[in-house]
Chain A
């Protein structure tokens, strides 16, 4: 370490145009959004060209940035902290201090940038076919593009406010996209629910940001010259030993509540399955790389805050691990009772997000981020596959039991990409999910959370089982309903969706049916049986399936250290970094490059820091020659830490074998059960839930989604929307306004009494003016029946009032 850091001090970190200008990436789709809105309808491709070109441009820039980042990392030794490329411009100011907007580009943001740009590009291309002829085609692409812009902005965000901007933009766009076919009440309700639920979580975002700002601002301004909103500042502050434990805990918990809402964690996950009311490409984008990943990303982004605030290093059960673990199981269980293929995938997403959260909560930062990465590909592929089925085979139905079955023969490409992605999702070696999910489970156990490791394994079992069930129902057995060519055109498309309501616990659940797509693109189909989709749909599927298969090798400790590329490129190094020249706060005008020359790796002059940072816990042999720093466990001396030192579980084949075994067990059991239930119609099993009371109760508990929706909608929302608000309004009209009107009426009566008894009888003349005015005031209080304006009276009253005012002034 000693020599390494001396070397590092001499090494200049490489940079490049793409890295320095990564802030442009979100601006491209944002501009495209306006182009689509204003010129989209006049364009030959109805505006979709703007969206697609912008996403490709963003993808090219992201890949360029990724390449340059890898160069940057490879240019220095493994013990060198690789500075993120931070730029900031004045966005607003307070008390003369400028608060910025800009970019914070490091391994994490680059990873997510590439994923988001890639998936968005594919989804946009796919949508040109899927929504072909839709009545709001242009509008759809506008929302989709803005949505990606929001996510990209959140990813490059330099500070919390910029992050909130992206976060909320996504909320808005999800509202527009989920409610895309708003003519139907169910869709608009689902849109409202999504926005409202995430917004409820956002209370935490606002509060947490505020708490952390005031807790950190003094320290960050003094030490780093950045505000308490800055991500860099918050990270360093959290590990500096400065925070009071109360402030950082409150801040972290509050922020995590926002993540629960956004990332569909228990108990705020209920909006996510309903969000399936949106067009399938939207579901694919929302549930793979954007929106729902936002919460996970936030935790990963300001990880030191959570690390310290939630006591993650303490190995005791913390809030994040707990929520993540609970979410894995409760969502996976719900996936079993769904008949809608998209809802199976939706609950699967919820469950996988639970894995990511659990990983983050247990200190498995890299596996969690890696799981965001791999999950994006295979989940996008699965959703688009479901879309392909509904588009070309099941006549826009998503009901696996009624309208699918035996599709493997008709849709070979969709089927094989589905199978690859399913294997990846289940975590079968060597598909990508294996490398990320197994790492999470392994590291959770390694960090001492044995119970949660078992939860993770159990979740893997459930995942394998419900995905086998979905695969069986969709692709195997005999074709049913639309897949058998039964449904034809108009007699069906308006009604099939309504039938589905019978299955749902709530009559207003999201439609299991893209019925408007059916309306709008009907001519293309005529009457045909199931067939494979066209190239515009299958090519994205093939690309995604390829990555679902291959992307795991980016970080495959199973094959030795050389394969741990993502760890090298993405995981921030927990080094003590000396702060030499503090960047001045940006003035009210102009640009400040905060990263430039503001810090250098610790050199000889700070060797105590280097010592404490490297030798005290030199468990070199144990972890493949890596050194440990004290970042996260001790107050850094002579510098700051930007990341806590995390542990990595050494890869063991027997552990991997065990978890893959559990997955296969889940698959086999589920397969056997499916064959008995759905093909053989085994009389002992079919209808068991109706015969056995305990099982029936369990089933309806699941079918009603643990009654959470009932609690939220029927009790909380309804009580606020109706009795409570009406009560408040009654108070307003009868009490507050009653006082006002009462005062008016009694004044008039008093005036009348005074006029009759005092004025007329006692005083004559002088006081007349005041009495007249008061009486006029009273007269005007009575409703005028004529309907024609009583201008004269009004004028008179006005004049009298002014007169009264003059009296008041003079009398004073």
Chain B
């Protein structure tokens, strides 16, 4: 593969710089929390600076090609190499992971959840960052798998140590469920390796040779990957770990989980499963589409049944990722573009929603919808931000969410050649009905929590006045970039589509459409 840029060090540095920060932090005494935080935030900022540099150096006219490619020997015994690169599909997610990590760290400055220990908390976030960024640039399946698994542990500890009352159960469920998927995925990777002649784990090589595998074998290999990725997305019916993990996780964990971790699954479909196994993808597509639209409706119904704000937002992820998966399942450029856009948009919007939920919890010490009312009276700014995010989440045009949702619905009208048109058109209508349900649960939530007068329990003069304050400085710093991004990408989506579209075109070459 031709090396497109001389700057092929940027990805390696951008990915592993957080680990350097971790090394430094190991020598900082636990008691000196401020220093730990400062070093960690400094590291994340430096990482983001490398990310910005990457964005600047990126050749946007060749967004469809791999850039900053680097390849080095790694585990030659199993013919795996350290092979990385970045194209238009990876770039937005790669960059998003850096932004989110930094913002979450800034937010954590005065929001380290109980039982404290800022040092360990920040170290985990840095490790997580390396894992996330690495997943998006890996061009070798073993490398991908290592990074993919690397994110598990820090998140497991974040939930299990800093989580809510039921954290043990939630963290273990998260870990075991994902491991279960990963195991099957690994089997699939190995099968792929052997079926293509045991020559290489490099994704480009597998894309070239994967199509030659017999169709039935492809379908089985795809099944393994499907379970691995679908658990991570999560797709119905593999989603049950998600509400528990989100509800129990600390705010920071929820934000990262929603904004980035879920995308590892969808990214896996787009980057690995579909281009390598096009025949199997076509066979699987209607079933993926089916689970996607079930997820859309089912997730929305789940939301309507919730009494807890955070759990509601968690269920909304199931519905939103349903749109992403529906887009992917059409195997068309409209669908893939929508899915990629939707991943970033969901990251921004749902990330913000979890931030808001965290801040609400901090102020009221509860997220029970019944007990919350009249937030707009007590905290007008926070209330309006919640309203803004709810509107973005339900897919209002002019905000980012729309561009992940509408083109996905659109794409289902005309899936890739060879797929059953009638089936997908039914999916389209069901998905469109899902937008109404989304409006229903989000606005209902908003009406119940933000409108009206505060409940007696939290009314002024009932002992909660000190806790209940409007958005503070750190929250503003952490949230403003996200809020701006939601508007900017909503108003001018071409910013992202021009990066995504060429890369999506390359990915879909095998489908001719």
Contact = CB atoms under 8 A, between A and B. Distances in A.
A209 interface: yes
Given A168-B397, A783-B168, 20 more contacts: A94-B333, A94-B497, A95-B333, A96-B501, A96-B505, A179-B451, A182-B376, A185-B452, A192-B444, A196-B440, A202-B435, A203-B436, A207-B409, A721-B444, A725-B305, A740-B241, A777-B172, A788-B115, A789-B161, A808-B186
Interface stretch (B31-39, B199-207, B296-304): B296-304
Contact of B432 (A184, A203, A805): A203
Interface string A520-531: 000000000000
15 contacts: A93-B501, A169-B398, A183-B377, A195-B443, A203-B433, A203-B436, A207-B428, A210-B413, A721-B444, A794-B156, A797-B172, A797-B175, A798-B157, A805-B149, A805-B182
A798 B156 contact: yes
A808 B447 contact: no
A797 B497 CA distance: 43
A209 B505 contact: no
Contacts of B452: 182-185, 188
Interface string A795-811: 00110011001001100
Contacts of A167: 397
B190 interface: yes
B164 to A, nearest CB: 12
B403 interface: yes
A780 B172 contact: yes
Interface residues of A, number: 71
B453 A183 contact: yes
B173 to A, nearest CB: 7
Contacts of B177: 740
A285 B286 CA distance: 46
Interface in B409-446: 409-410, 412-414, 428-429, 432-433, 435-437, 439-440, 443-444
Given A172-B396, A777-B172, A210 B428 contact: yes
Nearest to B341: A92
B233 to A, nearest CB: 15
B190 A812 contact: yes
In the complex, which of the residues A164, A171, A182, A791 has the most CB atoms of chain B within 10 Å of its own CB atom?
A: A182
Interface stretch (A122-130, A407-415, A729-737, A750-758): A729-737
A192 B429 CA distance: 23
A701 interface: no
Contacts, number: 180
Contacts of B166: 783
Contacts of A185: 451-452
Given A96-B505, A172-B396, A207-B428, A783 B451 contact: no
A92 B493 contact: yes
A169 B115 CA distance: 44
Interface of B: 115, 149, 153, 156-157, 160-161, 166, 168-169, 171-173, 175-177, 179, 182-183, 186-187, 190, 237, 239-241, 298, 301-306, 333-334, 337, 374, 376-377, 391, 396-398, 402-403, 406-407, 409-410, 412-414, 428-429, 432-433, 435-437, 439-440, 443-444, 447, 450-453, 492-494, 497-498, 501-502, 505
A199 B444 CA distance: 14
A489 to B, nearest CB: 22
Closest 4 A/B residue pairs (Cβ): A725-B304, A729-B305, A728-B301, A182-B451
A173 to B, nearest CB: 11
A214 B494 contact: no
A200 B502 CA distance: 35
Contact of B493 (A91, A210, A726): A91
B435 A203 contact: yes
A364 interface: no
B56 to A, nearest CB: 18
Contacts of A794: 156-157, 160-161, 168, 171
Interface of A: 90-96, 98, 161, 164-165, 167-169, 171-172, 175, 179, 182-185, 188-189, 191-192, 195-196, 199-200, 202-203, 206-207, 209-211, 213-214, 588, 717, 720-721, 724-726, 728-729, 732, 736-737, 740, 744, 777, 780-781, 783-784, 788-791, 794, 797-798, 801-802, 805, 808-809, 812
A167 B374 CA distance: 29
Contact of A92 (B182, B239, B497): B497
Nearest to B387: A176
Nearest to A721: B304
In the complex, which of the residues B182, B190, B406 has the most CB atoms of chain A within 10 Å of its own CB atom?
A: B406
Contact of B505 (A95, A207, A725): A95
A196 B173 CA distance: 36
B160 A789 contact: yes
A94 B337 contact: yes
A206 B176 contact: no
A612 B13 CA distance: 71
Contacts of B157: 794, 798
Contacts of B433: 203
B414 to A, nearest CB: 5
Nearest to A250: B425
Given A588-B498, A725-B305, A781-B169, A736 B237 contact: yes
In the complex, which of the residues A92, A192, A588, A777 has the most CB atoms of chain B within 10 Å of its own CB atom?
A: A92
